[in-house]
């Protein structure tokens, strides 16, 4: 009765992760969530089957429990592979679990080999947990939040180590084999260890999912979904921070506003899908042509901005021209056709008292000057700031933008 109560508490502790996994299962979109949810439910079934040993037929609870657990650990392996975008190897895992369940049925109903069942049960669990841990270790860079992957690895390693010890202790004949329902010291030891490691495994998987979703959401706010460049919000926030730094430490900053030339004609002639491809191509070319420390973002449409840290006007012009040259020399190939692209740019450098609107307005004026002078070039913004000039600049930018895009 005492041991059955242990299994009941163990099963309830494992079931704590299930109501937290179910909302993710219902909403979908999380790779591997179906396998994780099913694995948790099967693990709970396995433990509750042992807890119900007094009301179930002797052989039935053993097979139900063992089959459910072997399927659960197989699904954990499959789910982790799906989570990281790898081939799930579901058929291989199903065949392995099926063979193990068949072997255990033979050792229960044909020979009644308790040592063989315990050894196979623990060896299978150990191998699957180690295989899952190898997948997690190889994909550890996919989750950037510190400590999460370490916790997942520790939970997998602890469960694998416990079952490795169990296989050695019972399979090696170190102690007399007894059922888990017998209150022998080693049985109680493995029950206590399992009541910690099994719930920890499913809580680790839950933490992995929640962290991944959080990082996905943060990435959606930080990066533009189409081009992968920094989003408008994040690049403007960074510009504000950098302007404050320049004001405090008299640092240098150059802002380059870029616009793809004749982008409307690309959409009109080739379709919006090609226009999106052109934007992505542009966003790949620019970062390769500038310094790794610079930050590149999309303001909207075909307009982008590059923040060049600790950069004076002369170096900023050189960097900006390098961008134009790189784009001109990197045509976009679509279904065997070559689509040449160019860009125009305007550069403005930090002036004491600058705001984000002010420095962008000056860069915009320089950009539209470059377009007026023939495109595929970069112009430097005026450096003084007469009273009311930023407001006038914004009005000029609006007029020039309307003329250019018309």
Note the pLDDT of residue 391.
39
Note the pLDDT of residue 180.
62
Whether residues 246 and 166 share a domain: the answer is no
Which of these ranges, 173-187, 345-359, 371-385, has the smallest mean pLDDT?
A: 173-187
What is the residue range of 195's domain? 2-221
Give mean pLDDT, residues 82-100. Answer: 95
Note the pLDDT of residue 259.
93
Number of domains in the chain: 2
- Of 197, 221, 245, the last residue of a domain is 221
In a domain? residue 226: no
Whether residues 311 and 202 share a domain: the answer is no
Whether residues 318 and 213 share a domain: the answer is no
Confidence of residue 183 (pLDDT cuts 50, 70, 90): low
Whether residues 187 and 161 share a domain: the answer is yes
Calculate what percentage of the chain has a pLDDT beyond 90: 65
Note the pLDDT of residue 240.
94
The answer to whether 366 touches 381, Cβ cutoff 8 Å, is: yes
Whether residues 199 and 255 share a domain: the answer is no
Note the pLDDT of residue 405.
35
Whether residues 338 and 358 share a domain: the answer is yes
| pLDDT above 90 (res 335) | no
In a domain? residue 293: yes
Whether residues 97 and 215 share a domain: the answer is yes
Note the pLDDT of residue 62.
86
The DSSP letter of residue 311 is: -
Give mean pLDDT, residues 271-283. Answer: 92
Note the pLDDT of residue 182.
65
Whether residues 272 and 195 share a domain: the answer is no
- What digits encode the pLDDT tens for the residues 93-119? 999 999 999 999 998 888 888 888 899
Angle ∠(154,64,39) on CA atoms, nearest 5:
35
Calculate what percentage of the chain has a pLDDT beyond 70: 92
Note the pLDDT of residue 399.
41
- What digits encode the pLDDT tens for the residues 149-165? 999 999 999 999 999 99
Note the pLDDT of residue 404.
38
Instruction: Write down the mean pLDDT value for the chain.
Output: 88
**Are β-strands 378-380 and 343-349 bridged in parallel, bridged antiparallel, or unpaired?**
parallel
Whether residues 76 and 204 share a domain: the answer is yes
Query: At 375, which CATH number?
Result: 3.30.70.270
Q: What is the gyration radius of the CA atoms in the chain, in angstroms?
A: 31
| pLDDT above 50 (res 394) | no
| CA distance readout (Å), 122 to 93, 94, 167 | 16, 17, 6
| pLDDT above 90 (res 173) | no
- Of 221, 253, 279, the last residue of a domain is 221
| pLDDT above 50 (res 401) | no
In a domain? residue 41: yes
| pLDDT above 50 (res 406) | no
Nearest to 316 by CA among 294, 339, 338, 283: 294
pTM over 0.75: no
């Amino acid at each position: 009765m005492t041991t059955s109560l242990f299994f009941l508490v163990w099963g309830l502790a494992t079931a704590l992760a299930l109501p937290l996994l179910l909302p993710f299962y219902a909403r979908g979109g999380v790779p591997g969530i179906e396998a994780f949810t099913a694995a948790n439910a099967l693990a709970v079934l396995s433990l509750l089957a042992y807890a119900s040993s007094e009301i179930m037929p002797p052989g039935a609870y053993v097979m139900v429990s063992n089959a459910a657990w072997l399927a659960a650990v197989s699904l954990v392996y499959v789910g982790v592979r799906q989570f990281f975008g790898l081939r799930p190897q579901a058929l291989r895992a199903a065949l392995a679990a099926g063979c193990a369940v068949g072997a255990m049925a033979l050792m229960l109903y044909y020979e009644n080999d308790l040592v063989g069942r315990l050894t196979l049960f623990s060896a299978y669990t150990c191998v699957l947990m180690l295989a899952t841990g190898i997948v997690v270790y190889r994909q550890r860079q996919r989750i950037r939040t510190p400590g999460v992957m370490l916790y997942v690895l520790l939970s997998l390693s602890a469960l694998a180590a416990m079952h490795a010890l169990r296989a050695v202790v019972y399979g090696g004949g170190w102690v007399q084999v007894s059922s888990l329902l017998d209150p022998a010291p080693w049985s109680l030891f493995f029950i206590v260890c399992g009541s910690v490691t099994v719930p920890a495994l499913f809580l680790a998987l839950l933490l992995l999912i929640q962290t991944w979703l959080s990082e996905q959401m943060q990435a959606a706010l930080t990066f533009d979904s189409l081009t992968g460049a920094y989003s408008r919000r994040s690049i403007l926030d960074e510009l504000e921070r950098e302007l404050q730094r320049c004001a405090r430490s008299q640092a240098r900053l150059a802002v380059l506003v870029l616009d793809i030339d004749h982008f409307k004609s690309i959409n009109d002639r080739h379709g919006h899908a090609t226009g999106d491809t052109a934007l992505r191509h542009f966003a790949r070319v620019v970062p390769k042509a500038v310094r790794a420390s610079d930050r590149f973002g999309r303001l909207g449409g075909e307009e982008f901005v590059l923040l060049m840290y600790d950069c004076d006007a002369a170096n900023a012009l050189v960097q900006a021209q390098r961008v134009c040259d790189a784009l001109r020399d990197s045509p976009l190939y679509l279904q065997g056709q070559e689509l040449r692209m160019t860009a125009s740019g305007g550069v403005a450098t930090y002036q004491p008292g600058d705001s984000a609107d002010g420095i962008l307005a000056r860069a915009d004026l320089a950009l539209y000057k470059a377009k007026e002078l023939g495109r595929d070039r970069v112009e430097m913004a005026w450096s003084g700031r007469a009273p009311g000039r930023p407001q006038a600049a914004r009005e000029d930018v609006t007029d020039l933008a309307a003329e250019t895009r018309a």
